Structure 1
């Protein structure tokens, strides 16, 4: 159940909520809303990773190979989330802040911002795939 909650929250924020926010709000408002959702998603990821790791560790009916798979999936998903939350989001926020009222697209740092955003999307894609594997392997 925890694996499904984690994977579902990643899918919901990444592929439903974030694109919807950018579709109906101006980019500054959407960025703020999505940033808040991603921060909450990161904290949820930390909590669920810890809970799932403890459950996998304490589960007597898991063989060593399956337990290893679960730990790799949990660790990979958590790593993706932390890279975005601790590395990419602060860097992107700093670029947004320095861009001023003209916005990031008018900033000379637009290329850097776009590259960071692309890496962020790749991290969420990897986390999504790992989430699917985690849901299947944890049954």
Structure 2
């Protein structure tokens, strides 16, 4: 029962990262103007971060209580969960607020017309790398959680 629950939660977490990062966010930017898309994606990323926190706690508790895991596999799972949570929190608590401040200070002309465009683009690039890392860790989590 615990192994199935671990797998279900791991799949939910990894799937949510994949769905938001590679389906929902690009789709929003494809059909909405950049300001609206940024707002929609910002809400999705906030909800994803809260989901990541909840799932990290639940998975940590399940791993701690799972008698079917040897010490090495348990360590792997803790590291993967911690890595995924770290990626999510760095984006949510660090990069997103900085990007939002740049967007807000840019005014009606938008971020691309702002002198801070380079900084915004760099922060966005770092966030994409972190989501890629979280995606890879999510695949590892699904494989190791069974």
TM-score above 0.5: yes
Q: State whether structure 2 residue 65 is matched by structure 1 residue 73.
A: no
Q: Which residue of 2 aligns with 1:12?
A: 19
Partners of 1:128 and 1:10 in 2: CA distance: 6
Q: State whether structure 2 residue 35 is matched by structure 1 residue 28.
A: yes
Partners of 1:124 and 1:117 in 2: CA distance: 10
Structure 1 residue matching 2:85: 3-state secondary structure: helix
Q: State whether structure 2 residue 110 is matched by structure 1 residue 112.
A: no
Q: Which residue of 2 aligns with 1:43?
A: 50
After TM superposition, give the deviation of residue 13 of structure 1 in Å: 0.1
Q: Which residue of 1 aligns with 2:5?
A: none
Deviations 1:8-60 (A, max 9, x none): 00000000000000000000000000000000000000000000000001111
Q: State whether structure 2 residue 106 is matched by structure 1 residue 99.
A: yes
Partners of 1:138 and 1:56 in 2: CA distance: 9
TM-score by length of 1: 1.00
Partners of 2:97 and 2:143 in 1: CA distance: 33
Q: CA RMSD in A?
A: 0.2
Aligned positions, number: 139
Q: State whether structure 2 residue 139 is matched by structure 1 residue 136.
A: no
Q: State whether structure 2 residue 89 is matched by structure 1 residue 86.
A: no
After TM superposition, give the deviation of residue 93 of structure 1 in Å: 0.1
Structure with more relative contact order (C-alpha pairs < 8 Å, separation 6 or more): 2
After TM superposition, give the deviation of residue 127 of structure 1 in Å: 0.1
Structure 1 residue runs of 5 or longer lacking an equivalent are none
